């Protein structure tokens, strides 16, 4: 394992995959749907809870929350029951309510970050499906672009299909980016609680990178290098990642780097 372990009670596996994800992310481009295996693993992890009586647990926890919205344990129980039932968005709402009451529980914050990552991953998967459908639609536009096919009305239909799939891709990709941004906000809270925890800084960098907040990602990775152990084998890879991110920034914004043109 490349990374320092998260706290003993933490179940989450973010640090295990963060750097490998980050390196591939730079090579392939931000927002292009990586990390599907991560979300699948996390979904499976979150759902490893007793399957019987989930609905009853949800209703019981809802009643307790309604009776006392300030009951953090009730919010936690509701979030866990909703997660076990696959209701990730609702579970996020419950955990956000918990954090409003108590923003110092690191385990809860890590769980909330994990749920945002699941949502981002599912949006990435929708984007990939839309990308594939858009490719098919583009092929149809080319195929039906001749005069005979247009006479039968196939051309306009194919163009409409291409437009819709392109919009679906854009919407899903934006949703994934926004979920990563919300995840990054949670990691910022964790870093504030434990500023010298390398794993938290690494996750903050990764989530900001996936949210296309490249300056923030670089800053988090640099902070990671400052607190990482001297013999940490990951440090060299993080340095390479920072260099790649800076190069990507320069390539996408040459005006910000006048000397880049030679």
Position 49 pLDDT exceeds 80: no
pLDDT at 257 over 60: no
Average pLDDT over residues 224-239: 90
**Per-residue model confidence as pLDDT tens digits over 116-174:** 999 999 999 999 988 887 776 666 555 555 544 454 444 566 667 778 888 888 999 99
**pTM of the full structure:** 0.74
The 3-state secondary structure of the chain reads CCCCCCCCCCCCCHHHHHHHHHHHHHHHCCCCCCCHHHHHHHHHHHCCCCCCCHHHHHHHHHHHHHHCCCCHHHHHHHHHHHHHCCCHHHHHHHHHHHHHHCCCCHHHHHHHHHHHHHHHHHHHHHHHHHHHHHHHHHHHHHHCCCHHHHHCCHHHHHHHHHHHHHHHHHHHHHHHHHHHHHHHHHHHHHHHHCCCCHHHHHHHHHHHHHCCCHHHHHHHHHHHHHHCCCCCCHHHHHHHHHHHHHHHHHHHCHHHCHHHHC
Domain residue ranges of the chain, discontinuous segments joined by +: 26-50+99-244
User: What was the pLDDT predicted at 9?
Assistant: 36
């Amino acid at each position: 394992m490349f990374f320092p372990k998260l706290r003993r009670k933490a179940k989450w596996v973010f640090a295990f995959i963060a750097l490998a994800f980050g390196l591939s992310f730079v090579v392939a481009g931000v927002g292009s749907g990586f990390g599907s295996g991560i979300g699948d693993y996390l979904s499976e992890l979150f759902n490893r809870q007793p399957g019987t009586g989930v609905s009853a647990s949800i209703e019981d926890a809802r009643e307790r929350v309604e009776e006392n919205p300030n009951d953090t344990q009730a919010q936690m129980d509701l979030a866990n029951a909703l997660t076990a039932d696959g209701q990730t968005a609702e579970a996020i709402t419950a955990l956000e309510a918990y954090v409003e009451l108590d923003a110092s529980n690191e385990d809860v914050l890590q769980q909330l970050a994990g749920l945002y990552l699941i949502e981002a991953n599912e949006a990435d998967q929708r984007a990939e499906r839309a990308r594939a459908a858009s490719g098919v639609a583009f092929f149809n536009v080319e195929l039906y672009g001749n005069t005979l096919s247009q006479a039968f009305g196939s051309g306009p239909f194919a163009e409409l299909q291409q437009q819709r799939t392109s919009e679906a891709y854009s919407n899903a990709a934006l949703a994934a980016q926004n979920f990563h941004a919300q995840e990054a906000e949670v990691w910022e809270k964790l870093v504030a609680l434990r500023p010298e925890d390398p794993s938290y800084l690494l996750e903050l960098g990764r989530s900001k990178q996936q949210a296309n907040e490249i300056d923030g990602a670089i800053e988090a990775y640099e902070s990671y290098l400052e607190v990482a152990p001297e013999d940490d084998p990951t440090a060299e890879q993080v340095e390479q990642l920072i260099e790649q991110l800076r190069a990507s920034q320069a390539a996408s914004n040459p005006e910000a780097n006048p000397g880049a043109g030679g």
